[in-house]
Amino acid sequence: MLNLDKIRNQFPSLSIKNNRGDKIIFLDGPGGTQVPKAVIDSISDYYKFSNANTHGEFETSNKTDIIMDSLREKISIFLGAENKDCISIGHNMTTLNFSLARGLIKYFNEGDEVVITDLDHEANRGPWMILEEKGIKIIRVNILKNGEIDYDDFVKKINKKTVMIAMGMSSNAIGTVNNFQFIKEIIENKNILFLLDAVHYAPHFSINVTELNCDFLLCSSYKFYGPHLGFLYSRPGLLDKIETDRLTVQDQNSPYKIETGTLNHAACRGAEKALDFISSLGNGNSYRKKIEDAYKVIGEHEKALAKKLYSSLNKLENIDVVGPDFSDKRSPTVSFIHKNLSANKICKLLAKENICAWDGHFYAKKAIEKMGLSEIGGVTRLGISCYNSADEIGRTIRVLSKI
């Protein structure tokens, strides 16, 4: 079981209070989680003791090289990757995906088809649109009225011209966990690249890219207790075949060839500490085992709170919960609409009670549009993270039941 007090004590921001003395409640995790003290301290320590550019002969530069290598190593373990050379680092997921798309435009041919879904965050839709410049077709998979992917439509849209599928693992708008395994089975032994957006999945479930058998996977550490950075996993050797935009003077090999300019070394140090934080919540005789175990306890804790939130909101007359219940695997992100008030108004009322929540489409614009929720300003989204408590959920439900 998760030792919640021990966890909460590590997050300085959880003690923020408003002028009435109400403690802050962070339910904005899907937009970015809070950060433990060890992560914050490591960033400050980087600037005190290790600040330099990479590949120099002097000590701070050597230390920076070690930090960068160590992060790649730990992210590769975190994602179950073959080795650290599969891990590229970037400013965020969106930037990495754009760079990848600009590289793949040279790899694919006119008439080829890339399949994306209407449930996805724009970061896994917009970058692929640039392929249309070369006559590569972007094929969009529909969603059902409830927001879930229409898998019949998905299967119909895969054909001999399909060269890549780019899909999300979990919806940041309604919390669905998508059936990516099914799609992978459908394309087994076909020459189709398989890219997964794990940004909303990675904070809640452990990932094993070798088991997933994907070609690319992207995630962002600011969604799992770290600083604002993105990561790209590429299958060994694959990135070497792609002509990414890069300087002739930089390292031309994987994983560096998609990384342009100087990276945020201090944030990289922080991201490593965020992974250490997650692994510290689990038991096991290796870093990987600890991470897998940590996700079991994080998952149980988050699911219990999210289920309580979901069922309590479902009982309120003025509220309609959007998104699936907990009978299937889903993330602990609960979205809803109010019968009389816009999502933005709800967030303003919650903010007065020192409860942080987001409203709108969260860049999953197509999905919110297709569910017919754009005109009313989208949904209010409450996301559970490992530091949230039953008391916080109780207080949030009490506030919402009075609105």
Q: Which residues bind ligand PLP (CB under 6 A)?
A: 92-94, 121, 123-124, 168, 172, 197, 199-200, 220, 230
CB of 230 to ligand PLP, least distance (A): 5
Are the C-beta atoms of residues 186 and 158 closer than 8 Å to each other? Answer: yes
Q: How far is the CB of 265 from ligand PLP (least distance, A)?
A: 18
Phi and psi dihedrals of 139, rounded to 5?
A: -105, 125
From the CB of 29, what's the least distance to ligand PLP, in Å? 11
Of 230 and 282, which CB lies nearer to ligand PLP in the complex structure? 230
* Nearest residue to 62 via CA among 52, 74, 48, 47: 52
Smallest distance from the beta carbon of 234 to ligand PLP, in angstroms? 17
* SS3 call for 246: coil
Q: Are 354 and 18 in contact (CB under 8 A)?
A: yes
CB of 198 to ligand PLP, least distance (A): 8
Of 168 and 323, which has the nearer Cβ to ligand PLP? 168
Query: Measured from the CB atom, is 167 or 341 closer to ligand PLP?
Result: 167
Please, which residues have CB within 8 angstroms of residue 168's CB and are 6 or more apart in sequence?
A: 117, 119, 120, 121, 124, 178, 196, 197, 199, 200, 201
Buried/exposed code over 222-232 (b: 16+ C-beta within 10 A; e: otherwise): bbbbbbebbbb
CB of 330 to ligand PLP, least distance (A): 14
Q: Which is nearer to ligand PLP, 29 or 377 (by Cβ)? A: 29
Nearer to ligand PLP, 174 or 319 (CB): 174
Q: Name which of 220 and 279 has its Cβ closer to ligand PLP.
A: 220
Are 25 and 354 in contact by the 8 Å Cβ rule? The answer is: yes
Kindly tell me which of 288 and 366 has the beta carbon lying closer to ligand PLP.
366
**Helix pair angle (59-78, 287-315), 10° resolution:** 60
* Closest approach of ligand PLP to the CB of residue 5, in Å: 29
Of 124 and 396, which CB lies nearer to ligand PLP in the complex structure? 124
CB of 9 to ligand PLP, least distance (A): 28
DSSP string, 6-65: HHHTT-GGGG-B-TT-PBPEE-BGGG-----HHHHHHHHHIIIII-S-SS-SSHHHHHHH
How far is 223 from 358, CA to CA, in rounded Å? Answer: 14
Sign of CA dihedral 209, 212, 213, 215: negative
User: Given 3-state DSSP classes, what are the helix, strand and coil percentages for the chain, each rounded to the nearest 5?
Assistant: 45, 15, 40
Judged by beta carbon, residue 220 or residue 312, the one nearer ligand PLP is 220
Identify whether the C-beta of residue 183 lies closer than 8 Å to the C-beta of residue 195: no
The nearest distance, CB 166 to ligand PLP, in angstroms, is 11
Q: How many CB atoms lie within 10 A of CB 333?
A: 27
